[in-house]
Amino acid sequence: MSTRRPAGPAVEERAGQPYVGVRRTVTMDTFAVAGDRLPEIIGWLAERGAAPAGPPFFRYRVIDMAGELEVEAGVPVAAPQPVGGGDGGDGGTAGTGGIGAELFNGTLPAGRYAVLTHRGHPDELIEVTAGLLDWAAGRGLEWDMAETAAGQRWGCRLESYLTDPRVEPDMSRWEVELAFRLAR
């Protein structure tokens, strides 16, 4: 029996999830400075014998598509990891040396999320995201999001990469889950 969720939008309740991540301020043209960190984070965890507790993700904190985005590249973990001293955001701690110097522990917040799984090239995600936003608006759902001078500040807006690119290099066959937290 498959436990796989249908690709169409749905609302689901989620528990909080610890993760290890890095945060960057990027533009759409410089997004790779955040995205390229995911393999490093996974490698850092593997060196310490800590397996990911879910797929790697991008968490969009602040979005101004014409300007800057505050984004995190993260990997879910079973429990916070010893990443060293210093504040890394969300009350987490940053490590020292290499990728460890940039890492922090965070927690994806519990709550109700609008969720959609997309199969296709990540370049299609802007259109897919617009569809999810429209779907929620058509149902009167409200986001955990506030408009600010810097852009939209989200409580939790995720892109989780369900496909391992080492197993499936054809990006047109990748599965990406969008999960956007709803306001209560």
pLDDT tens digit string along 106-150? 999 999 999 999 999 999 999 999 999 999 999 999 999 999 999
Distance CA 160, CA 177 (A): 5
* Total H helices, total E strands in the chain: 3, 10
For residue 87, give the nearest of 100, 105, 73 by alpha carbon.
Answer: 105
Is 5 in a helix, a strand, or coil?
coil
Span 71-108, pLDDT tens digits: 999 999 999 999 864 334 443 444 445 788 899 999 99
Structure confidence at residue 7 as a pLDDT band (50, 70, 90): low
Q: What integer pLDDT is reported at residue 183 of this predicted model?
A: 97
pTM of the model: 0.88
Residue 97 corresponds to which amino acid? G
Q: Does the pLDDT at position 2 exceed 90?
A: no
Tokens representing 136? Answer: 């929620």
Measuring CA to CA, which residue among 28, 26, 27, 59 is closest to residue 41?
A: 59
Widest distance between CA atoms in the chain: 48
- Could you tell me the sign of the dihedral formed by the alpha carbons of 36, 40, 46, 48, in that order? negative
Model pLDDT for residues 153-174, shown as the tens digit of each residue: 999 999 999 999 989 999 999 9
